[in-house]
Structure 1
Amino acid sequence: MTTSVVDVVETKGRRLMPRWRDYGRPRELVVRYLLLLLVLGLTVGPLLWQLLASLKGVSEDVFGTDATLLPHHPTLRAYRTVFDQVPVWSYIRNSLIVVALSVTSQLVFSTTAGYMLSKPAWKGRKAVWVVLVASMMFPFESIMVSLFISIRDLGLVDNLAGVWLPGFVGAINVLLMRGAFLAVPREIEDSAMLDGANEWQRFRYLYLPSAWGAIMVVVINTFISAWDDFLWPLIVLRSESNMTLTLGLSRLQSSSFGYDQRMVMAGSVISVVPVLVLFVITQRWFYKGVSSGAVKL
């Protein structure tokens, strides 16, 4: 009995291995990978270039015709200089305080508000939902002046609480949690009610575990937003002791530090590392939460 040519090769004790042509024609495959390489270069390329530039010695050019991509003699001198001349650990502490406050408030208010918006039993739910969606249309710059006046009247200028307060809850996070809670089957909640579970117990033991992926999305988005924020801390903060990491490291571009390009690149890498570490650790829940929370957004 003869066998026909198949598209997969079956080996004993192994999975079926697809051939290259199973993924498309060679021309389509080349175009697909070229596009992926282009996107990878646009996203990872600048960060990689900053990292390589920060490792260059004093005698190596960062810009210009004589500059090279790879450092000839890699050194951590720029990082040591940044930590010696700038209170980096104080900046990191201030940023962590703002991040902790932001993540806590976002989780508390976005989960509770999203839970209430997912319930059809109270009037005005659609009106609140429309207001939240409409608020996302206005850029931060359009309300920045009024926010600063409010923070000034509260006496929170040059205070970390003044950096945190305008972003204590975000409309996008509320809508994301609403979509995640809407995905919970109504029959499960009815069963919990028959078992005697009250409102808080259903929220704590039924809805929150079901929306774990969306919660991680809220945590990651809030962490990145609070950690990388530069404009609002620049407006609110005055003293160096209260500066956040991104604001403090921007001082490396001033003339008082000689505008060493390697130090500027090193400062940029230092500020990005915590975000990358967090994303690598939580990426599995992040992608799962994006897909689940967007079902009924």
Structure 2
Amino acid sequence: MTIKSSKHVMKIPREKAYRARGSADIMKPSLGGLIGKYGLLLGVLVIMVFPFLWQLSTSLKGAGENIYDFPPSLIPAEPTLANYGEVFRTIPVLDYAWHSLIIGVGTVITNVVFATLGGHALGTMKFRFKWVILAIFFSTLLLPGEVTLTSQYLTIKSLGLANTLWGVFLPGAIAAINVLLMMAACRMIHPDTLDAATIDGANTMQRLRHIVWPNIRGMVSVVALFSFIGAWDDFLWPLVVLSDPANYTLTVGMQYLNSNFAANPRVIAAGTMIALIPIILLFAALQKHFFRGVEEGGVKG
């Protein structure tokens, strides 16, 4: 930058000129902005975390404590695990959790495999009627699950899979949203890289293994985590398909507590925590990969 005067010409470095004009402080938040930002974050944290803390506190309180005090007391006066023991004595928690785990793991495997293959085809390949297929995928996202519930049940029943874990698993084996997420991740790969691999003699599976997969592993972790949480937390579809209590998943089995312990919310809270804790542990273990995948999906290049 050059500043001219009547006597001489003086050159000032660009950085100093910006600092002189105050441009270096443009991105620096004011005190009011900081207070507002952290106040908003604190409010969101309270809204989202308080119900969990209240459920956890209720599950640890004994029969003599009032769980409806106001303001609520989150620290039990005499913590006890008797409510958890009552849950395990009432329903076969481990069997139901095993059923949910089988469905959850199977859902993760099929969604990762088929969504990767479908996303690769839609994101990197050129073929006829591609946009028709994309339109079909997008249209399925507009329909709520309740609309297709009857048709799904009739299909599962006609296959002879009603009241089986296979019947619970199959409708969620592949989700349209996961295919679209993988398609978006695959489109971030530069076409010249794939063309160079093709010129070097790499076939489709070799390109998928050595080029595509290393670039979409972050998004794969997002798809895997969402798929497992969706399968683990699903309640309506297993409730419709399963009629034998021996085949219940954990979420359906916990509904039995609401009907038998409606007057004792402590036991219901304990059952809720039993179903929720595995999800919390899983997310805590995979959060680094999850946020990396979200970041890779939001930033191209």
Pick the TM interval, shorter chain: 0.7 to 0.9
1:217 to 216, 222, 242: 222
Change (3 A) 1:206 1:84: same
What is the 5 A alignment of 1:94-243?
94-243=99-248
2:34 to 25, 29, 40: 29
Supply the distance in 2 between the matched residues of 1:76 and 1:236 (Cα, whole angstroms). 33
CA positional deviation for 1:66: 9.1
Tell me if the contact between 1:61 and 1:67 (Cα under 8 Å) persists in the aligned partners.
Answer: no
In terms of Rg, which structure is larger?
Answer: 2
Supply the distance in 1 between the matched residues of 2:298 and 2:269 (Cα, whole angstroms). 36
CA positional deviation for 1:86: 1.4
Write the deviation string for residues 96-120 of structure 1: whole angstroms up to 9, x where unpaired: 1111221111111101010110134
Tell me if the contact between 2:124 and 2:191 (Cα under 8 Å) persists in the aligned partners.
Answer: no
Number of the residue aligned with 2:47: 42
Supply the distance in 2 between the matched residues of 1:23 and 1:268 (Cα, whole angstroms). 44
Tell me if the contact between 1:61 and 1:68 (Cα under 8 Å) persists in the aligned partners.
Answer: no
Equivalent pairs counted in the alignment come to: 275
1:265 aligns with 2:256: no
Unaligned runs of 5+ in 1: 1-20
Tell me if the contact between 2:84 and 2:267 (Cα under 8 Å) persists in the aligned partners.
Answer: yes
Percent of aligned pairs with the same residue? 39
Write the deviation string for residues 229-279 of structure 1: whole angstroms up to 9, x where unpaired: 001111111111110011101111113x46421111011111111111111
Write the deviation string for residues 136-178 of structure 1: whole angstroms up to 9, x where unpaired: 0000011111111111111111101111111111111000000
Supply the distance in 1 between the matched residues of 2:243 and 2:176 (Cα, whole angstroms). 29
Change (3 A) 1:23 1:69: farther
Unaligned runs of 5+ in 2: 1-25
CA RMSD between the two structures: 1.8
Supply the distance in 2 between the matched residues of 1:66 and 1:138 (Cα, whole angstroms). 42
CA positional deviation for 1:33: 1.1
Supply the distance in 1 between the matched residues of 2:35 and 2:117 (Cα, whole angstroms). 48
Tell me if the contact between 1:176 and 1:294 (Cα under 8 Å) persists in the aligned partners.
Answer: no
1:61 to 45, 63, 66: 66
**TM-score of the two chains, using structure 1 as the length reference:** 0.88
Tell me if the contact between 1:180 and 1:294 (Cα under 8 Å) persists in the aligned partners.
Answer: no
Paired amino acid for 1:218: V
SS in 2 for 1:254: helix
**TM-score of the two chains, using structure 2 as the length reference:** 0.87
Number of the residue aligned with 1:244: 249
Paired amino acid for 1:254: S
